[in-house]
Structure 1
Amino acid sequence: MAKLNRSLNTMELAAWATIFLALLLGAVLFPLITFHSRGRRAYNLPPGPKPWPIIGNLNLIGELPHRSIHELSKRYGPLMQLRLGSVPVVVGASAEMAKIFLKTKDEAFSDRPRFAISKHSAYNYSDILWSPYGPHHRQARRICAAELFSAKRLESFEHVRDEEVLVMLRHLHQASGRTVRLRDYLQTLPLGVISRVVLGRKYVVEEEGASPPAITPAEFMEVMDEVFVLLGAFNIGDFIPWLDWLDLQGYVRRMKKMSATFDSFLEHVLDVHNERRRLEGDRFVAKDMVDVLRPLADDTDLEVPLNRDSVKAITQDLIVGGTDTPANTIEWAVSELLKNPEILAKATEELNDVVGLDRLVTEGDLPRLPYLEAILKETMRVHSAVPMLAPHLSREDASVDGYEIPAGTTVFVNVWSIGRDPVLWDAPQEFMLERFLGSKVDVRGQDFELLPFGSGRRMCPGFKVALKVMARSLANLLHGFVWRLPDGVCKENGP
């Protein structure tokens, strides 16, 4: 054990020595970089904290970046300039600023920064989320709108959503009377829906009679968990590029490992689909989204040809984008209702009046459940699944609110701050769904005070699926069970 400890200490000393040498090199280079930049044009930048040499304002960013940046915005205003390492960053923290970045001047701010996660896990920026703005991105969104998320396509998969909600309810019914960890049930629901809709079969459970998958259900859940961790990781090499090779936090190593596992899985999925297409020949009918996407790789009339990696990248986006947001939102909604039993009682009363006591809630019932809709909107305001929208990048110099934003600036829209803006919301810290009863504020990207799915050219293309899964699932959870906190837990202990 002593030998092991000495070995670990030696490794730690070596790592710290490497970091020290890298910082020393930066300290030597910084004056040269500063001298070189003196001849550049001076911009009228938004207000913000003074950056330190090398690290910029990284010292002000805590474990929850959206909260740290929110506190800074309260001091410097809804349009704020930061320097994270060597990367210039602008933050929009109001509905007005969000509208400028995402609608008024959407084209100027429609690009994406090239972060490590997009390089290593998005097939070198060839997916929808991280691809640079241009012909490939526009074409991918057109494919989503016309082929993957059209009204007809969504309707054709309603039976899948029906069946997966029923599976979740049966599993919960088996646990009736016991304390349950709701997230365990919620995670498998959207993942089951999206894997059947996109891939043609469930990969979260062993399916009787199905061919053995390239990845077990447990491995599939594990890699999905890793994807969400790495998507939210604050990788230091993205902001101090000359430290990237050190991979100080180990994120790049994990990204490469996760990507290799996911790629092996997607290769298996494409091979299975290609084989079915070959065997069925002229009888082939598309049954899932991969069936729709795969032939497009052979379409010579496309503006930008799609290759196998492009198909895998878009498929991966569909899986990841359709999984985490519904589970998080439903979990937060139930948590808030348990803390507010009077709201829970009213929601149950609405469901009993509209649906009755002898059947499950269907998607046809949802338009007649305004109280349930208000619960979901208030949940997404207070607990946005993505507190800061995926970063944008300015493609050209632009003027915003009298300030200048240089080309190449990374732009964050802090949805978490907007949801707590006292100018927009009375008592913003309180869970008050009444604010949405009779309100026309929606989540479809046109009302900038509520942007759980973003807006404009970079809005989440699959938000309609997410809304259907969330509303249907929450309605049946409330309609089918009586919920209460575990013994010994009071609502003051809630989130």
Structure 2
Amino acid sequence: MKYISLLITADFTIPISMETSTYSFILCFIIFLFLKSYLQGTNKRYPPSPGLCLPIIGHLYLFRKPLYRTLAKFSDKYGPIVYMRFGFRPVILVSSPSAAEECFTKHDIAFANRPKLLAGKYLGYNYTTISWASYGSHWRNLRRIASLKLLSSNSLQISHSIRTDEVKSLICQCCRRCNGGEYHSLEMKSAFFQLTLNVMMRMVAGKRYYGEDIADLEEAKRFQQIVAESFQLTGVTNIGDFIPVLNYVGVSRLEKKLVILQKKRDKFLQDLIEQHRQKQRDSTSEHRSKTMVDVLLSLQGTEPEYYTDEIIRGLMHIMLTAGSDTSSGTMEWGLSLLLNNPEALAKARTEIDNRIGQSRLIEESDLANLPYLQCIINETLRMYPATPLLPPHESSEDCTVGGYHVPRGTMLLVNVWAIQNDPRLWAEPEQFKPERFQNVQGERDGFMWLPFGAGRRGCAGEGLAYRVVGLALGSLVQCFEWKRPSEEMIDISVGTGLTMHKVQPLLAKCRPRPTMLALLSQL
């Protein structure tokens, strides 16, 4: 104790330079910030995670195809909000209406961004199209153009004759194959796909590239090739999006293929733009065509610095890809379910006969007066949503969902299929019951049913999708008698990929209804 007292009371100093003192202070400050960040992180409550998170790959080793079913199993085991890592990317998985509602209402702005994925770089014009752009003034302007100029009720009414023509073309195609009024087998997957692409292409640029009456066969072949390559590449997962180092070691050649596809697509779309420019120069009539390209070129005339050709090409591309595969798939699923449930098919036909009759074809204006047909479409979208996982969102700031902390930069996945097929929310969800949507507007509009997403980034093309699908399905039910190719039920196995499509293309037998022969002969 004596020596300790001497040390305390002794007058001695240790020479410390000013430079050493500054470095020590900086070091201590850095350590303090690190400890503060670490302690704050440990106090935050994160959602539960499935299994062990491995270095570098995270939870990717747990995934099996189809992804939405694997993720649904995670939610069943760990809860409606699950935290994972896709390689280096943090991900929050949401599989309940309440959590989805919180994300798309309370935190809608926070989750309004898109993650930077390779597809968005090349197919989304470096993340500048409406599907890939980050939330901000540019995206809001694109959304305004789509909602008010291209897909508004008034715009869709102007283009209704296009959809009517293409559905009539499909009906005539079916009639020609039914020789002598006998049942004939038809492959409906390609028929629906060509219908939707012709509808979209005529709305966008005034041209059709499938079936008969094709003005330019060579141009049609170019378009068909680009479409085939586009859907092939968009269904491929790029592992480099989650483990970036793999982008530099050549694990995948996807990027090179996307570059080649982008050049082909840009050249094709630019040629269409130039054709419309030339037509506008040559036309002296005040009543010019009003395709989407014409509308966008007129906007370019008033604001050329913003409505560049690249912006126009981006909007054209989104219109052609976002509305074709999804709508045609819904029609194929809908007819498959009706063939497996003939009582629902009969009920739909009775409704059409009672409300429309057999002296004229269904028109778009009739769809609002066919509630059971609407129920069939809604039930089809419930059981087989075109995108079982909504396009991913990304948080722009820290937030709390369901009491759990979600860090900034976290990718949000909403498992629509899991919500819409949850037996705790839907009675016998595996059964096709269109009646469940009768007089139940809350379920139709609530977060139990999300095939078109919700919030700011919900699908702007919902109105168009209902018109195309409703008119096509309703017309086929009105004009033809349908049955399965055999006594066996239609195979409803689901394929892999980002969209929900049938493994086996739909093959169905049909013949014109005797009571509709007189009308069909006039088409």
Q: TM-score, normalised by structure 1?
A: 0.87
Note closer, same or farther for the CA distance 1:289–1:37 as it changes in structure 2 (3 Å cut).
farther
Where do 1:440-459 residues align within 5 Å? 440-441=441-442, 446-459=445-458
In structure 2, how many angstroms separate the alpha carbons of the residues matched to 1:380 and 1:343?
Answer: 16
SS at match of 1:287: coil
Q: Which residue number in structure 2 is paired with residue 314 of structure 1?
A: 315
Which residue matches 1:25? none
Name the counterpart of 2:353.
352
Q: Cα gap change, 1:72/1:37 in structure 2, threshold over 3 Å: closer, same or farther?
A: farther
Shift of 1:205: 4.6
Q: Which has the larger radius of gyration?
A: 2
- Letter of the structure 1 residue corresponding to residue 60 of structure 2: L
Which residue in 2 is equivalent to 1:383? Answer: 384
Distance 1:37 1:391 in 2: 33
Please say if 1:106 is aligned against 2:128. Answer: no
Q: Residues 286 and 292 of structure 1 are in contact (CA less than 8 Å); yes or no, is this contact kept in structure 2?
A: no
Deviation at 1:256, TM superposition (A): 2.1
> Equivalent residue for 1:429?
430
What is the rounded CA distance, in whole Å, between the counterparts of 1:38 and 1:221 in structure 2? 58
> Hey, what's the Cα distance between the residues in 2 that align with 1:166 and 1:183?
17
Q: CA–CA distance in 1 between the matches of 2:196 and 2:240?
A: 33
CA distance in 1, matches of 2:141, 2:250: 34
CA contact (8 A) 1:172 1:185 kept: no
Q: 1:232 aligned to 231, 235, 241, which one?
A: 235
Among residues 471, 489, 492, which one is paired with 1:491 in the alignment?
489
Q: 1:442 to 1:205 in 2, by over 3 A?
A: farther
What are the Cα deviations for residues 139-161 of structure 1, in whole angstroms up to 9, with x where unaligned? 00111122112222111111111
Q: Distance in 2 between matches of 1:362 and 1:257?
A: 42
The count of aligned residue pairs is 452
Gaps of 5+ in 1: 1-35
SS of residue paired to 1:411: strand
Aligned letter for 2:277? N
- 1:406-417 pair list within 5 angstroms: 406-417=407-418
Separation of aligned partners in 1, 2:460 and 2:490: 37
Q: State the 1:107 CA deviation.
A: 0.4
Q: 1:169 aligns with which of 168, 171, 187?
A: 171
The Cα of 1:260 is off from its aligned counterpart by 1.9
Kindly state the Cα deviation for residue 442 of structure 1 after the two structures are TM-superposed: 6.5
- 1:122 paired residue among 113, 121, 124: 124
* Pairing 1:194–2:194 present: no
Does the 8 Å contact 2:437/2:443 carry over to 1? no
Aligned partners of 1:422 and 1:428 also within 8 Å: yes
Q: In the TM superposition, what is the alpha-carbon distance from 1:238 to its structure 2 partner?
A: 0.6
Equivalent-residue separation in structure 1 for 2:107 and 2:232 (angstroms): 31
* Residue equivalent to 1:83: 85
- Residue identity opposite 1:377 in structure 2: N
Q: Is the 8 A contact 1:363 1:468 kept in 2?
A: yes
Secondary structure of 2:85 counterpart: strand
Question: Residues 427 and 113 of structure 1: is their aligned pair in 2 closer, same or farther, counting only changes over 3 Å?
Answer: same
Displacement over 6 Å in runs of 4+: none
1:23 corresponds to: none
Q: Is the 8 A contact 1:79 1:91 kept in 2?
A: yes
SS of match in other structure, 2:422: coil
Match of 1:264 among 254, 264, 267: 267
Aligned match of 1:178: 184
- Secondary structure at the aligned position of 2:184 is classed as coil
Letter in 1 for 2:489: K
Unmatched segments (≥5 aa) in structure 2: 1-33, 494-523
| Structure-2 residue corresponding to 1:470 | 469
Over residues 227-259 of structure 1, what are the superposed CA-to-partner deviations in whole Å (9 max), with x where a residue is unaligned? 233333321011111112345343323322222
Letter in 2 for 1:311: I
Deviation at 1:206, TM superposition (A): 6.4
Q: Deviation digits for residues 78-132 of structure 1, max 9, x if unmatched? A: 1110101010000111111111112221001000001000101111111101111
Q: Distance in 2 between matches of 1:246 and 1:267?
A: 34
2:398 counterpart residue number = 397
For residues 405 and 73 of structure 2, the distance between their equivalents in structure 1, rounded to whole angstroms, comes to 23
1:339 and 1:494 in contact (8 A); partners too: no
1:203 aligns with 2:209: yes
Aligned partners of 2:89 and 2:411 also within 8 Å: yes
Please report how far the alpha carbon of residue 283 of structure 1 lies from its aligned counterpart in structure 2 after TM superposition. Answer: 3.8
Bigger shift: residues 115-124 or 365-374 = 365-374
Contact conserved, 1:197 with 1:288, CA < 8 A, in 2?
yes
The answer on 1:276 being equivalent to 2:279 is yes
Deviations 1:349-390 (A, max 9, x none): 111211222321111221221111111000000000000010
Question: For the residues of structure 2 that align with 1:156 and 1:66, how far apart are their CA atoms?
Answer: 38
* Of 468-477 and 273-282, the range deviating more from structure 2: 273-282
Which residue of the partner structure matches residue 21 of structure 1?
none
Secondary structure of 1:424's match? coil
The match for 1:251 is 254
Q: CA deviation at 1:494?
A: 4.3
* CA drift at 1:184: 1.4
State the TM-score, normalized to the length of structure 2. Answer: 0.82
Shift of 1:284: 6.6
1:365 match: secondary structure: helix
Q: Match for residue 290 of structure 2?
A: 287
Q: Report what 2:162 is aligned to.
A: 160
Contact 1:92–1:98 under 8 Å retained in 2:
yes
Please tell me the residue identity of whatever aligns with 2:273.
L
Matched, 1:367 2:363: no
Using the alignment, how far apart are the partners of 1:83 and 1:309 within structure 2?
35
- Among 115, 130, 133, which residue is 1:131 paired with? 133
Relative to 1, partners in 2 of residues 1:294 and 1:451: Cα closer, same or farther, differing over 3 Å? same
1:401 offset after TM fit, Å? 1.1
